[in-house]
A and B are shown apart, each in its own frame.
Chain A
Amino acid sequence: MTLIGDRQQLAYIASQAADARVNVELETEGMTLNIGPQHPATHGTLRIIARLDGEQVLWAEPSCGYMHRGYEKLTEVRTFPQVTALVNRIDWLGSFANEVPFILAAEQLMEIEAPPRAQWIRTILFELSRIANVSLFLGDLGVQLGAITPVFFAFRDREYVLNLIEGATGGRFHPNFDRIGGLKDDLPAGWVDETRAVMKKMRKFCDEIENLLFGNEIFESRTRGIGVIPRDVALQYGMSGANLRASGVDWDLRRDQSLPMAWDKVDWKVWTHLDGDSYARCWVRLQETRESTLIVERLLDTLPSGPVMTKVPRIIKVPEGEAWVSTENPLGEMGYYVVSKGDLGPFRVKIRSASFNNISIVPWLLKGVYVPDIITILASLYFILGDIDR
Chain B
Amino acid sequence: MYALLSSIPYWGQTILRLLGGSVAVLLPAGTIVYLFLFKMMSFMQSRLGPMEAGPYGSMQLFAEVGKWLQKEDLMPERADKFVFKIAPLVVLSSTFLLVVVVPFGPDAWITNFEAGVFYALAVSSVSVLGILMAGWSSANKYSLLGGLRAAGQLIAYELPMILAVVGVVIQAGSMNLQNIVVAQNAGSIFGWDGVGNPYLLTQFIGFIIFMIAVQAELTQTPFDMPIAESELVSGYMTEYSGFRFLIFFIGEFATAGVFAFIASVLFLGGWGVPFSWFGWTGINDVDNWMNVGGPLIMLTKMLGLVFIIMWVRFSYPRFREDQLQRFAWKILIPVSLVNIVATSVLKVAF
Report which A residues bind B (CB closer than 8 A). Answer: 31, 33, 39-41, 55, 142-149, 152-153, 156, 212-213, 216, 218-219, 221-222, 370-375
Contacts and interface: CB of A to CB of B under 8 A. Distances in A.
Contacts of B44: 149
Interface in B241-267: none
8 contacts: A142-B317, A145-B317, A146-B222, A146-B317, A146-B318, A370-B320, A370-B321, A373-B320
Interface in B300-319: 314-319
A218 B318 contact: yes
Nearest to B222: A218
Given A146-B221, A156-B46, A222-B317, 6 more contacts: A39-B233, A55-B145, A153-B46, A216-B316, A221-B323, A374-B231
A76 to B, nearest CB: 39
A28 to B, nearest CB: 12
A371 B320 CA distance: 9
A222 B222 CA distance: 11
Given A41-B231, A371-B145, A152 B319 contact: no
A35 to B, nearest CB: 8
- Max chain B C-beta neighbours (<10 A), residue from A147, A149, A213, A372: A372
A16 B134 CA distance: 42
B52 interface: no
A218 B314 contact: no
- Max chain A C-beta neighbours (<10 A), residue from B228, B314, B316: B316
Interface string B32-62: 0000000000001111000000000000000
Contacts of B221: 146-148
Q: Interface on chain A toward B: helix, strand, loop, or mixed SS?
A: helix
Contacts of B142: 33
B45 A149 contact: yes
Contacts of B317: 142, 145-147, 213, 216, 218-219, 222
A80 to B, nearest CB: 41
A219 B320 CA distance: 10
B228 A146 contact: yes
Nearest to B224: A146
B225 interface: yes
> What 4 pairs across the A-B complex have the smallest Cβ distances?
A146-B318, A145-B317, A152-B45, A147-B317
A95 B316 CA distance: 32
Interface residues of B, number: 27
Given A33-B141, A372-B231, A153 B222 contact: no
Nearest to A371: B231
B271 to A, nearest CB: 34
B319 A222 contact: yes
B230 A144 contact: yes
Nearest to B322: A370
B215 to A, nearest CB: 12
Contacts of B229: 40, 146
A149 B314 contact: yes
Interface string B319-331: 1111100000000
Nearest to A375: B231
Interface in B155-211: none
A372 B222 CA distance: 13
Contacts of A222: 317-320, 323
A192 B225 CA distance: 46
Given A146-B222, A222-B320, A370-B320, A40 B315 contact: no
B141 A143 contact: no
Nearest to A33: B141
Contact of A375 (B224, B230, B322): B230
Nearest to B142: A33
Contacts of A373: 320
A213 to B, nearest CB: 7
Contact of B315 (A33, A144, A212): A212
Contacts of A152: 45-47
B136 to A, nearest CB: 14
Nearest to A140: B230
Contacts of B46: 152-153, 156
A31 B141 contact: yes
Contacts of B318: 145-147, 218, 222, 372
A147 B231 contact: no
Contacts of B225: 372
A201 to B, nearest CB: 13
Nearest to A147: B317
Nearest to B320: A372
Interface string B65-80: 0000000000000000
A145 B230 contact: yes
A125 to B, nearest CB: 27
Contact of A40 (B45, B233, B320, B321): B233
Contact of B45 (A153, A371, A372): A153
- Max chain B C-beta neighbours (<10 A), residue from A146, A147, A219: A146
Interface in B96-144: 141-142
Nearest to A379: B230
Contacts of A39: 233
B332 to A, nearest CB: 15
B45 A147 contact: no
Contact of A218 (B228, B231, B319): B319
